[in-house]
Amino acid sequence: MSSRLLIEKQETVWIARFNNPPHSYMDHLTGEALTQLLDEVDGDSVVRAVIFTGSEEGVFIRHYDVAVLLERSQGMAERGLRFSLDRLIPESQLHQCLARMESMPIAFIAAINGTAMGGGLKLLWPVIFVWCNRVIMIWVCQKLISVYWAVPGVLSVCHG
């Protein structure tokens, strides 16, 4: 398994800790590690749940590495690529993983142990339960606008 996800297997429950010090950004290696984890889960008949959390104190996932996104967008612009509602940007590996998680017969749980922004928030879409260790409010604007109010151990979700 990639060093971007540290996996602890405890019989039917696996704990996956996002690990990319010093800033806890997601990047293409995170997507590859998530794909590899899902492949392993698919091939294991015992695992029933995967808990995602951050490996660093006070950080779940900050966001996707903006330097990587800038490089990608500049590369697309240099090749003259144009996108619209009729010609969408190809789905990223991370988005493919999220769609795959939604269809898997496994319980995915997010144990938010601190800062969660951008890509870290996208991970909330396919999970069935979110645990927080402090009071937070999360706005997610993706498929639909959602509001997550959370106090330690409790999450209320309202999809609009």
pLDDT band at 15 (very low <50, low <70, confident <90, very high): very high
Res 37: pLDDT: 97
Q: What is the pTM of this model?
A: 0.77
End-to-end CA, the chain: 37
Checking if the pLDDT of 139 tops 60, the result is no
Res 83: pLDDT: 80
pLDDT digits over 59-77, tens only? 888 888 889 888 988 988 8
- Which among 44-48, 95-99, 120-124, 144-148 has the top mean pLDDT? 44-48
pLDDT digits over 87-127, tens only? 777 788 888 998 899 889 998 988 888 887 777 777 777 77
Contact 98, 52 (CB under 8 A): no
Print burial letters for 37-50: b (CB count within 10 Å at least 16), e (below 16): bbeebeeeeebebb
Q: Which of the residue ranges 35-39, 50-54, 85-89, 148-152 would you say has the lowest mean pLDDT?
A: 148-152
Give the total number of structural domains in the chain: 1
**Residue 119 structural domain:** 5-159
Residue 156 — φ and ψ, nearest 5°?
A: -115, 130
Name residues whose C-beta falls within 8 Å of residue 159's C-beta, 6 or more positions apart in sequence: 144, 146
Question: Which residue would you say has higher pLDDT here, 12 or 102?
Answer: 12
Checking if the pLDDT of 9 tops 90, the result is yes
Q: List the one residue out of 109, 79, 84 whose CA is nearest residue 13.
A: 109
pLDDT band at 134 (very low <50, low <70, confident <90, very high): low
Residue 106 — φ and ψ, nearest 5°?
A: -120, 145
Three-class secondary structure of residue 68 per DSSP: helix
| CATH (domain of 142) | 3.90.226.10
**Strand ranges, E, within the chain:** 5-10, 13-18, 49-54, 58-61, 107-112, 114-116, 129-132, 136-141, 145-151, 154-159
